Amino acid sequence: MGETQSELKSLASAINGMLDRINESYRSQVRFVSDASHELRTPISVIQGYVNLLDRWGKNDEKTLQESIDAIKDETENMKSLVEQLLFLARGDNNTMALQVERFELSALAEEVLRETQMIDGGHEYNSHAAPVFINADRSLVKQATRILIDNAMKYSPPGKRIIVSVSSADGYARLTVQDEGIGIKSEAVPRILDRFYRADESRAKATGGAGLGLSIAKWITERYGGHIEVLSRLDIGTRISIVFPTAPEGLS
Ligand code: ATP
Ligand code: MG
C-alpha cells in the first residue's frame, strides 16, 4: 500500500506539472494573439484617420495630400514589418520554418552586415574587431539576428555615437557582440527585453517605433542552434548584447 501510494503521489504531481505547463502555454498563446492584435490596431487606425481626412478635405489640398500619403506609406511599412515578425515567430513556434544549416565563418558575416549598415546609416561611427570562427547554423537567420542587434544599437543611440561590432571565440563558443554608447536599459528591465512585445521605457521607446519583437526573434534563432543571448547594459551609458553559438570545429558539420 505504502509504495503504491507514493507512486500515485508522484503520478499526481507529474500530471499537475503537465497541466500547469499546458495552462501556461495556453495563456501565453492568448497573450501573444492579443498583443499582436493590439499592435496592428494602431497602424490601421492611423491609416483610417488619414483616409478619412483625405476623403473629407484633402483631395484638392496639396499639403494635406502629401502629408497623408507620407503617413500612409510609413504606417503600411510598419505593418508589413510587424506582420513579417509575427509570421517568423508563428513559424518558429510551429516548427514549420525551412532551415538550411551550413558551416560558415561568423566574422565574415559580421563584416558583411556592417558594410550594409554603413551604407544606410551615416549617423553613427562604426568600429569592428573580428577573429575568424566557424559555426553551424542557417546563415541567413544568423544574419537576421545580427541585423536585429545592430538595428537596436542604431535606434537607441544618439547620432554621432560609436557602435562596435566584434566577433571572438572562447571555450567552445563563438560570440558576436554589438556594443553601443546609447540610452541603455534600466536594470529592472534587462531580464525582460528578450520577451515578446516587451519594450523598456515605453515613453522613450515610442519615438523609435517597433513592436518589441526583434530580440525575441534573435533569441529564437540563437537557441535553435544551441546558443544563447547575453545582455549587459547601464542606463545612459550604453548596451552590449551578444549572440553566442557553439563553435563548429573543422570536419564536423
Ligand atoms: P522591434 O525590434 O520589434 O522593431 P524593439 O526594438 O522595441 O522593436 P527589441 O529589439 O526586442 O524590440 O528590443 C526590446 C527593448 O529592449 C527595446 O524596446 C528597448 O527598450 C530595449 N533595447 C534593446 N536594445 C537596446 C539597446 N541597444 N539600447 C537600449 N535599449 C535597447
Ligand atoms: Mg529592435
- pLDDT given at position 95: 85
CA of 127 to the centre of ligand 1 (A): 21
CA of 141 to the centre of ligand 2 (A): 15
- pLDDT given at position 18: 95
- pLDDT given at position 209: 80
Mean pLDDT rounded to a whole number for the chain: 92
CA of 212 to the centre of ligand 1 (A): 6
Domain membership of residue 63 as a residue range: 6-93
CA of 105 to the centre of ligand 1 (A): 27
Nearest Cα residue to atom 27 of ligand 1: 153
Residues 80-102 pLDDT 10s? 999 999 999 999 988 888 889 99
Please identify, by atom number, the ligand 1 atom nearest to the C-alpha of residue 178. Answer: 27
Nearest Cα residue to atom 15 of ligand 1: 199
Instruction: Give a yes or no: residue 252 inside a domain.
Output: no
Residues 34-91 pLDDT 10s? 999 988 998 999 999 999 999 888 788 888 899 999 999 999 999 999 999 999 999 9
Please identify, by atom number, the ligand 1 atom nearest to the C-alpha of residue 198. Answer: 14
Angle of helix 62-94 relative to helix 2-56, nearest 10 degrees?
A: 160
Q: What CATH number is given to the structural domain containing 76? A: 1.10.287.130
* Statement to judge: residues 208 and 142 lie in one domain: yes
CA of 10 to the centre of ligand 2 (A): 44
* Statement to judge: residues 204 and 114 lie in one domain: yes
Name the domain count of the chain. 2
* Statement to judge: residues 119 and 226 lie in one domain: yes
Instruction: Give a yes or no: residue 204 inside a domain.
Output: yes
Residues 101-130 pLDDT 10s? 999 999 999 999 999 999 999 999 999 999
- pLDDT given at position 196: 93
Instruction: Give a yes or no: residue 98 inside a domain.
Output: no
* Statement to judge: residues 27 and 55 lie in one domain: yes
* Statement to judge: residues 120 and 240 lie in one domain: yes
* Statement to judge: residues 154 and 193 lie in one domain: yes
Percent of the chain's residues with pLDDT above 70: 96
* Statement to judge: residues 48 and 169 lie in one domain: no
* Statement to judge: residues 135 and 20 lie in one domain: no
- pLDDT given at position 94: 85
Instruction: Give a yes or no: residue 55 inside a domain.
Output: yes
Ligand nearest to the CA of 188: 1
pLDDT band at 133 (very low <50, low <70, confident <90, very high): very high
Q: What CATH number is given to the structural domain containing 184? A: 3.30.565.10
Please identify, by atom number, the ligand 1 atom nearest to the C-alpha of residue 214. Answer: 2
Residues 17-26 pLDDT 10s? 999 999 988 9
Instruction: Give a yes or no: residue 209 inside a domain.
Output: yes
Instruction: Give a yes or no: residue 253 inside a domain.
Output: no
- pLDDT given at position 28: 86
* Statement to judge: residues 200 and 79 lie in one domain: no
Q: Measuring from each residue's beta carbon to the nearest atom of ligand 1, which residues come in under 6 Å?
A: 85, 148, 152-153, 156, 180, 182-185, 193, 198-201, 205, 210-216, 239
Give the mean pLDDT of 203-227.
88
* Statement to judge: residues 81 and 131 lie in one domain: no
Instruction: Give a yes or no: residue 42 inside a domain.
Output: yes
Q: Is the pLDDT confidence value at 251 over 90?
A: no
Find, among 228, 241, 100, 138, the residue nearest to 180 by Cα: 241
